[in-house]
Amino acid sequence: MEDFANSSNSAPVRAYAKLSGNGWTFYIQFLPIIIGRSSSEAADDGEPVHVDLRPLKVVSRRHGKIGFNSDTMRWELHIIGRNGIKVNGQLHQPPCQPVHLENG
């Protein structure tokens, strides 16, 4: 987390939030964000993958969708892929309710 802390950024970025992984950072500047495995063709509904977690086959082309729920005022992860997603060490498999995301 220290590598991607806001204090380590040299230039300010206008974004709703920031996703960070091992060696990468993605600034959420529009909603929703699709996480998955990019392919040569767009997803069935034409929505592109914004955060590409390739080349792992356990990652679906459209694995999850991050959005903001204005009713609950919380960030949510909707699981789209078949393999599920781990959040804070807990596996969430479809079908399931959206997973609430927290800072860190």
Q: What φ, ψ does residue 2 adopt, rounded to 5°? A: -65, -35
> Which residue bears the tokens 């995301």?
101
β-pair type (85-87, 90-92): antiparallel
User: How is the chain split into domains, by residue range?
Assistant: 2-101
Q: Per-residue pLDDT tens for 63-85?
A: 999 999 999 999 999 999 888 99
Q: Per-residue pLDDT tens for 5-38?
A: 555 556 678 999 999 888 888 999 999 999 998 8
| 37-76 burial code (b ≥16 CB/10 A, e <16) | bbeeeebeeeeebbbbbeeeeebbbbbbbbeeeeeeeebb
CATH number of 2-101: 2.60.200.20
Least confident span in 30-34, 54-58, 100-104: 54-58
Q: How confident is the model at residue 43 (pLDDT cuts 50, 70, 90)?
A: very low
Q: By three-state DSSP, how is residue 34 classified?
A: strand
